[in-house]
Amino acid sequence: MAGDPLQLKTVKRIPRDGTLYCMTRVPESGRVFFGSSDFGVYEADLNAEKVESKKLYAHRSYVTGVAKSGDVLVSGGWDRSLVWWDVKAGKEIRRNEKAHAKWVRGVEVSPDGALFASIADDMFLRLWDAKTGDLVREMKGHEEFTPQHFPSMLYVATFSPDGKLIASGDRVGHIVVWEVASGKQVATLESPENYTWDARQRRRSIGGVRSLAFSPDDKLLAVGGVAKINNVDGLGGKALVHIYDWKTGKTIHRFAHDKHKGLVEHLAYSHDGQWLLGAGGAGGGFLLFMNPKDGKFLSDENAKMHVHRYALDEKSEKIYAVGYGGLAVWAMNGEGMKEERKKRRRRK
């Protein structure tokens, strides 16, 4: 059974300069790898009493995607490259400087660890052999320009739990579900509420599909972003999540939070499907727990940082997160209360 969101407590916060855009966690541990706006890729153990970050290597721009398969870590960044790193040996395996023609927005690993997926603003989703680094296939089902003839962006991709599917989402709310084995499109969805176009004041767009998550049974797809925005210079729209039956395109539930504003940057179901967690922000940040069965919010939390990425532990009881200004750990198993008692004793 998953942790209880109503018992959510902060375990620790680790401040850092800049923005941490991406992370991945080693199973059965608090060991994480993350990418930063300072161009670096780092390693840290968030379960340690004193958390220290170790820099492994660097890109030539922001690091916006990182994923791990066995001892192989792959990262991608705005320098358009993908880097393969041997975690055990502590050395670079290969660096593909021409992985994409534009900014890399994310890197994911398939459930079986055989493939890495990368997405970029060239609007390609590419699958790479995790061991050899060879390009397995590329898929293109997203337009390069918005309906208003401005460049679009491919923000997110995610594998289904069984590894047979991968979904991708772009700036205008277009979503494609692909068959991994063949690279064929099996479904498309439109989520237009995620896209705001201001033709009068700024002649620019904002929003887009920023997060995706398949349900544990692979039948539903959660889509995160921000609701319509009055002022495109900010992120004042409501945090927004839709749950779709991806085969039919039918909306199962719509979640729009009245208090928390900004982008839902990351979505994940608890391992048992009892709740769906959305995290993100605008200036500040939030954690939003949703009931995928009745379409109601279970609880919400001020994250005190714009969360860009998080990882749940195997029991869905702890949350490891990175974002603007640092890292954080939350617990839903009583650990947060224990930490609070320790702090009180130290102050005494």
| Mean pLDDT along residues 300-316 | 97
Rounded Cα distance between 291 and 327, Å, is 26
Domains of the chain: 5-347 (2.130.10.10)
- How high is the pLDDT of residue 199? 66
Q: pLDDT tens, 125-156? A: 999 999 999 999 999 999 999 998 889 999 99
The predicted pLDDT at position 341 comes to 43
Backbone angles phi, psi at 66, to 5 degrees: -155, 140
HEC-encoded secondary structure of the chain: CCCCHHHCEEEEEEEEEEEEEEEEECCCCCEEEEEECCCEEEEEECCCCCCCCEEEEECCCCEEEEEEECCEEEEEECCCCEEEEECCCCEEEEEECCCCCCCEEEEEECCCCCEEEEEECCCCEEEEECCCCCEEEEECCCCCECCCCCECCEEEEEECCCCCEEEEEECCCEEEEEECCCCCEEEEEECHHHEEEECCCCCEEEECCCEEEECCCCCEEEEEEECCCCCCCCCCCEEEEEEEECCCCEEEEEEEEEEEECEEEEEEECCCCCCEEEEEECCCEEEEEEECCCCEEEEEEECCCCEEEEEECCCCCEEEEEEEEEEEEEECCCHHHHHHHHHHHHHC
pLDDT attached to residue 205: 63
pLDDT, residue 274, reads: 97
pLDDT-derived band of residue 116, with 50, 70 and 90 as boundaries? very high
Give the pLDDT confidence of 328-337 residue by residue, as tens digits.
999 998 765 4
Supply the pTM of this predicted model.
0.94
Q: How do residues 44-92 score in pLDDT, each as one tens digit?
A: 999 999 999 999 999 999 999 999 999 999 999 999 999 999 999 999 9
Residue 204 pLDDT level (bands cut at 50, 70, 90): low
